[in-house]
A and B are shown apart, each in its own frame.
Chain A
Amino acid sequence: DAEITQSPRHKITETGRQVTLACHQTWNHNNMFWYRQDLGHGLRLIHYSYGVHDTNKGEVSDGYSVSRSNTEDLPLTLESAASSQTSVYFCASSEVGRNEQFFGPGTRLTVL
């Protein structure tokens, strides 16, 4: 069955370190999204991509970057982790022309 996976599921890191969160989908979806979930804020869009080599900034993109070298993967990199980036991160994907997004299980990131 097609699916979307994220790794690691839990990560603890220190302030200033570079961290990369992986997202892999086997739906063959062109659209992929990264969100962070924080209490009181719901889901906020960090970055998104409509296809290979395409990346776009969302509403909370500062301190994050993404790259899209193939259809299946959209890794999220925190260039220099900050305590404010402690959060739960979700990856999602959707078909072109469809709005329904399918979500991964999430990565809980703690920055000490």
Chain B
Amino acid sequence: GEDVEQSLFLSVREGDSSVINCTYTDSSSTYLYWYKQEPGAGLQLLTYIFSNMDMKQDQRLTVLLNKKDKHLSLRIADTQTGDSAIYFCAESAAGNTGKLIFGQGTTLQVKP
């Protein structure tokens, strides 16, 4: 079945780069997503990548997709304390159902 895996925790120093990794199982996923959840809030779409792309850059965010290894990563450059949050990776479910399959979420802690 479809499954998305993420490491649970990452700690970095302010100003460093953060790299959050994700693996997925469904090779037919059309889109892959990164959501951010701040404490006490809902999930906010950060960025997404179409499955025929290798990389997408959006200001401080860089998404890398390795389709062969089914590996997705989110790099945050110059990480700030405001980036502290839970980051969820998600893949679109098979069959154009509109459903998303979410990973467990990675808690990013940014130390000053």
Interface residues of A (CB under 8 A from B): 31, 33, 35, 40-43, 45, 48, 50, 90, 92, 94, 96-106
Contacts and interface: CB of A to CB of B under 8 A. Distances in A.
Classify chain B's interface size.
Answer: 20 to 34
Given A42-B103, A42-B105, A50-B98, A99 B43 contact: no
Contact of B48 (A43, A45, A96, A100): A100
For the complex of A and B, the 7 pairs showing the least CB-CB separation, nearest first, are A103-B42, A42-B104, A43-B102, A99-B92, A103-B43, A31-B98, A105-B42
B44 interface: yes
A104 B98 contact: no
Given A42-B102, A43-B102, A99-B33, 17 more contacts: A33-B99, A40-B104, A42-B103, A43-B43, A43-B105, A45-B99, A48-B99, A50-B98, A94-B98, A97-B98, A99-B98, A100-B45, A100-B48, A101-B45, A103-B44, A105-B41, A106-B40
A106 B100 contact: no
Interface string B22-62: 00000000110101000011111100100000000000000
Contacts of A31: 98
A78 to B, nearest CB: 20
Contacts, number: 52
A45 B111 CA distance: 33
Contacts of A40: 8, 104
Contacts of B44: 103
A97 B4 CA distance: 22
A35 B44 CA distance: 15
